[in-house]
Structure 1
């Protein structure tokens, strides 16, 4: 379902009142193997009311049902593997919603608008080929996740998603936290549930705790992380990806311009 009819008119339109950015410092957090890797926390992206409205709208697309989340196993296939991942999920495709969310945070992360010679993010091949990848949009597929007591997503690295026409691919993960640790209206307080970055030997960790309206963004490539066990209460998040398209090389762009000009001249009978 792609409609935004379940959301208030003007939802997420206009800037957030007060976004603050904190870079994740992997070296200070005793994860020096990630020294040149990229992750940031943006607080204040959405208000508590907006988060509640978004969760309600997502639940309205399924009649309030949360299916069990699956694990990607390659070849476009998914399986339920609860030893690895155990939580509820709602999938909601909405280009308009993701465009509005990206508009709120785009100016906060200018350094990832254009990826050039950044092997830690794109891999060595694109960097050696001097490829330039330009941020295009957030993936329209919003994956809402619901973790209750005892649920988790064990340590893993995120994989790149490529569109079916192969014109875009993802390089960064976005997590939007939709509730706070404090319980509301008599609900049990959330304990646990941090997004945890691990050293490769699993001995050191950096925790990013859930906070309503907070966004965590980090590169897909080679960052080992988990959704820590929820010990009590409920954790609600939304996950998507930042998509990129390959910029044509300057000479290719020039040739394309000349070709279009010639085609236009032919069409005009010149």
Structure 2
């Protein structure tokens, strides 16, 4: 995968929002959705106006136009990507995000309901005598993945992998996806696709069965919950066990940038 590292563009995104830009935080309430049976205690949220349209346009332009095709396994994923490394950009985006995160998401410890769901028991069980594992949010990974979806492009149901930094006791537990464009425009009000869609966890199993030629003739659509692209909106959600897809773009183009939110492990008296 093509990637590059650069500095000097930090001024494109400042740690604080421009004057007049008010962020709007909306928790995604899985418990009162059609996905409650699987995700009633899972974490996801949106932040409208995290970036301004002008910031999104400048960020996209600064990333360049060296798009690389991503194609994975029987058209499981079809889109284009520019992978860039910028600690300046990542830090500025993180500073915008962190104040909007619930406190129970910033610190993950054994026994806390949300921590058990986000980190999973295996990441919370380690201890050093009376000192127990506590994961504290630290920063955004400097790895920024710019994505372009054109007509026919999609990303089928999957869960995001937890990223572990080599040589450090750090893990990513949250994904941040920022939409750099509005939802693509359809013709005559027709749906243009491009939604980020959360699926019941069984969908992933059916997808694997389909790829293995074991799909049945049951055409009943499984429950889902959609987040529609909107320029400057951030979607933040737990990586562990939360199935989602990038729905096929039918018209126009969809642009996003994706980052991992990193946590560092500490041992503390609880």
Q: Structure 1 residue 10: deviation in Å?
A: 5.6
Deviation string for 1:89-125 (max 9, x for gaps)? Answer: 0000001110000111110003221111222111112
Q: How does 1:167-186 map to 2 (within 5 A)?
A: 167-181=169-183
Aligned length: 232
Task: Give yes or no for contact 2:153–2:248 (8 Å, CA) kept in 1.
Answer: yes
Q: Secondary structure at the match of 1:230?
A: coil
- Cα gap change, 1:82/1:47 in structure 2, threshold over 3 Å: closer, same or farther? farther
Task: Give yes or no for contact 1:190–1:234 (8 Å, CA) kept in 2.
Answer: no
Q: What is the RMSD computed on CA atoms of the aligned residues?
A: 2.0
Distance 1:190 1:47 in 2: 25
Deviation string for 1:78-98 (max 9, x for gaps)? Answer: xx4352110000000001110
Counterpart pick for 1:110 among 86, 102, 116 = 102
Task: Give yes or no for contact 2:44–2:238 (8 Å, CA) kept in 1.
Answer: yes
Gaps of 5+ in 2: 127-131, 204-221
Distance 1:248 1:28 in 2: 36
Q: How does 1:181-220 map to 2 (within 5 A)?
A: 181=183, 191-202=192-203, 203-220=222-239
Q: Which residue of 2 aligns with 1:74?
A: none
Task: Give yes or no for contact 1:2–1:95 (8 Å, CA) kept in 2.
Answer: no
Deviates more, 1:240-249 or 1:227-236: 240-249
Deviation string for 1:109-163 (max 9, x for gaps)? Answer: 0322111122211111233444200111001000000000000000001111101
Task: Give yes or no for contact 2:107–2:137 (8 Å, CA) kept in 1.
Answer: yes
Larger radius of gyration: 1
Q: Which residue of 2 aligns with 1:268?
A: none
Distance 1:182 1:69 in 2: 20
Deviation string for 1:190-231 (max 9, x for gaps)? Answer: 811000000123410000000000000000110010000001
Counterpart pick for 2:162 among 160, 163, 166 = 160
Q: How does 1:10-89 map to 2 (within 5 A)?
A: 11-16=13-18, 17-32=21-36, 33-59=38-64, 64-69=65-70, 80-81=72-73, 83-89=75-81
Distance 1:51 1:39 in 2: 22
Q: Which residue of 1 aligns with 2:214?
A: none
Task: Give yes or no for contact 2:106–2:136 (8 Å, CA) kept in 1.
Answer: yes
Query: What TM-score results when the alignment is normalised by the length of structure 2?
Result: 0.80
Query: What TM-score results when the alignment is normalised by the length of structure 1?
Result: 0.80
Distance 1:210 1:125 in 2: 34
Distance 1:243 1:119 in 2: 17
